């Protein structure tokens, strides 16, 4: 009988300052069936075009707070008056079944996952930071996006500078170039992580 390798799933956590290309990269990665994309919960109302269960799970604040009390979140935070969080059980189920999961979270969310109480989750973790080449390039991208006022852009740049100082806390850092290059680099990371000896289980 030949030997056979199996492995549990990998939890790919992706963080980046606003405007660094994280959403574009996630959208490209979601086009392929390489993993399950984790859909977050939020208490903010849906924006035009957003779809329940695809963009977010839209919850009442009472429901969200009850789930916090029941310790059902892998990570959560309150941002601009609304709660955002990632449910633990769907992720754990996928990882147990050998399915990789992609989560898009901010630096606080990534930090919470690194210290999460479940050792299985921590061992599954592969965190990746998307680093803008510099703040001027980030400013250019934010202006091109056209979604923010000048004051909002300056605030995003201040926040980005603080977040960029934390890149060493991540296992991998991608210096952002074009979306195509970023996608190729992330796929290289995925490939390497899937062949780590510690992630494989040999059965005969």
**Count of helix runs (H) and strand runs (E) in the chain:** 8, 11
Residues of the chain with pLDDT under 70: 1-2, 146, 204
- Report the pLDDT value the prediction gives residue 204, as an integer from 0 to 100: 65
Tokens (6 digits) for 136: 């001027």
Q: Quote the distance between the C-alpha of residue 71 and its chain's center.
A: 20
The CATH number of domain 10-195 is 3.30.1330.10: no
In tens, the pLDDT along 112-148 reads: 999 999 999 999 999 999 998 888 888 887 888 767 7
The reported pTM is: 0.89
Domain ranges of the chain: 10-195
- Report the pLDDT value the prediction gives residue 127, as an integer from 0 to 100: 97
Contact predicate 128/186, CB 8 Å: yes
Q: Residue 159: which residues within 8 A CB-CB, separation 6 or more? A: 17, 18
- Report the pLDDT value the prediction gives residue 55, as an integer from 0 to 100: 87
β-sheet bridge partners, residue 127: 13
């Amino acid at each position: 009988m030949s030997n056979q390798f199996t492995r549990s799933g990998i939890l790919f956590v992706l963080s980046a300052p606003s405007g660094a290309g994280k959403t574009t990269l996630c959208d490209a990665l979601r086009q392929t069936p390489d993993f399950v994309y984790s859909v977050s919960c939020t208490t903010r109302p849906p924006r035009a075009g957003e779809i329940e269960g695809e963009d977010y799970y839209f919850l009442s604040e009472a429901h969200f707070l009850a789930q916090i009390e029941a310790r059902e979140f892998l990570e959560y935070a309150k941002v601009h008056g609304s709660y955002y969080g990632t449910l633990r059980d769907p992720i754990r189920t996928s990882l147990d079944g050998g399915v990789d999961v992609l989560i898009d979270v901010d630096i606080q969310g990534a930090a919470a996952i690194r210290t999460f109480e479940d050792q299985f989750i921590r061992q599954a973790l592969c965190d990746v930071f998307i680093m803008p080449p510099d703040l001027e390039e980030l400013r250019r991208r934010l202006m091109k996006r056209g979604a923010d006022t000048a004051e909002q852009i300056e605030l995003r740049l201040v926040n980005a500078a603080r977040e960029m100082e934390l890149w060493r806390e991540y296992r991998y850092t991608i210096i952002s170039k074009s979306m195509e290059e970023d996608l190729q680099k992330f796929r290289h990371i995925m490939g390497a992580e899937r062949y780590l000896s510690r992630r494989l289980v040999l059965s005969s």
